[in-house]
Amino acid sequence: MQLGFIGTGEITLSIVTGLSSSGVAPHSIWLSPRNSAVAHGLANRFHGISVASCNQEVLDHSATIVIAVRPSAARDVLSELAFRPDHRVISLVATLSLRSLSALVAPAVRIARAVPLPSAAKQLSPTAIYPPDPMAFELFAGVGTVFPVERENEFDAICATTATIASYFAFNETIASWLEEQGVPASQARDYIARLFLGVTTGAVDAPKRSFQSLAATHATAGGINEQFLKHLVERGLLTRISEALDAVLHRIGAES
Ligand SMILES: NC(=O)c1ccc[n+]([C@@H]2O[C@H](COP(=O)([O-])OP(=O)(O)OC[C@H]3O[C@@H](n4cnc5c(N)ncnc54)[C@H](OP(=O)(O)O)[C@@H]3O)[C@@H](O)[C@H]2O)c1
């Protein structure tokens, strides 16, 4: 696959690392020159990676273009580029709808949106793609598990759920800090909480037919401490706040696209 990336930041670093260390079919990869440290770091570390002198050179050498610049830069960056009709374009910009994207990358018509995660570096990214484009599927299957989506509103909703990750870490930090206050050494507290949730998450991935509610019920023995903790949070409206925050993020994605 002849791949080009416009935007060489955090997510490109993760995808290219994941692809290049997966040991499957080699990719020819062209990277845009900003950020130079990341681009040259990848080119020095892996075979088949070149750093272009400008964004247009990435397009000129590539068949599939991944758009990975920040939402605030995307329209300006794309409007300066000359796409070919045979280019395939995969946008990672959450706030650009397929319709907006089509106008920006014309005359290219084979366009998809994707939402990979930094866990792509370890080939563990769940990546939603819309529409279910075979090229996007092949690319992101190399760095994790692909979730093809038939409707754009569903794709946007999945994008919204990726906004929960920082809060997940904040939740873990609160628990680990509390543990530290009880006298557990900081590094041990952090490692314990990370592994507590690693085990729980692995169990959920291994049992795809079980709802999270059913898994919660398994842990929340009647009268036990899990039930007590969950009840405390539910009674104070914490879970309702989560749904409200997701609504707000989804609204923003829709408004900006
Ligand atoms: N990070 C994630 O987990 C994630 C997941 C899914 C989707 N996304 C989406 O992917 C996109 C990139 O996210 P990111 O986290 O990788 O952001 P990032 O780390 O800020 O990377 C964006 C890169 O674009 C570069 N850039 C800025 N202007 C440019 C231009 N005119 N031409 C070429 N490159 C330019 C920046 O260079 P400088 O450093 O020099 O400014 C930066 O290195 C965003 O739209 C984001 O919403 C990110």
In order, the DSSP letters of 68-129 are -S-HHHHHHHHHT----TT-EEEE--TT--HHHHHHHHTT--EEEEEE--GGGGGT-EEEEE
CA of 112 to the centre of ligand 1 (A): 18
Instruction: State how far the alpha carbon of 170 is from the alpha carbons of 117, 190, 213, in Å.
Output: 18, 12, 22
Cα 115 from Cα 90, distance rounded (Å): 10
Please report which helix (H) or strand (E) contains residue 242, including its range: helix 238-256
The confidence score (pLDDT) of residue 26 equals: 61
- If one residue of 30, 65, 70 were mutated to test the ligand 1 pocket, choosing by the most ligand atoms within 8 A of its CB, it would be 70
Kindly indicate whether the domain formed by 163-256 is annotated with CATH number 1.10.3470. Answer: no
The confidence score (pLDDT) of residue 254 equals: 85
The confidence score (pLDDT) of residue 184 equals: 98
Q: Which residues contact 234 (CB under 8 A, 6 or more apart)?
A: none
The confidence score (pLDDT) of residue 193 equals: 98
- Which residue puts its alpha carbon closest to atom 43 of ligand 1? 9
Q: Enumerate the CATH 1.10.3730 domain ranges in the chain, comma separated.
A: 163-256
The hierarchical CATH code for the domain 2-150 is 3.40.50.720
- If one residue of 14, 32, 35 were mutated to test the ligand 1 pocket, choosing by the most ligand atoms within 8 A of its CB, it would be 35
**Residue 256, both tokens:** 């900006």
pLDDT by 10-residue block (mean), the chain, 257 residues: 95 96 81 95 95 97 97 95 97 94 96 97 97 96 97 96 97 98 98 96 93 91 93 94 96 85
């990672």: which residue's tokens? 92
Q: Enumerate the CATH 3.40.50.720 domain ranges in the chain, comma separated.
A: 2-150
The confidence score (pLDDT) of residue 22 equals: 85
- If one residue of 10, 53, 140 were mutated to test the ligand 1 pocket, choosing by the most ligand atoms within 8 A of its CB, it would be 10
- Which residue puts its alpha carbon closest to atom 18 of ligand 1? 9
- Which residue puts its alpha carbon closest to atom 39 of ligand 1? 35
CA of 34 to the centre of ligand 1 (A): 9
Cα 140 from Cα 133, distance rounded (Å): 11
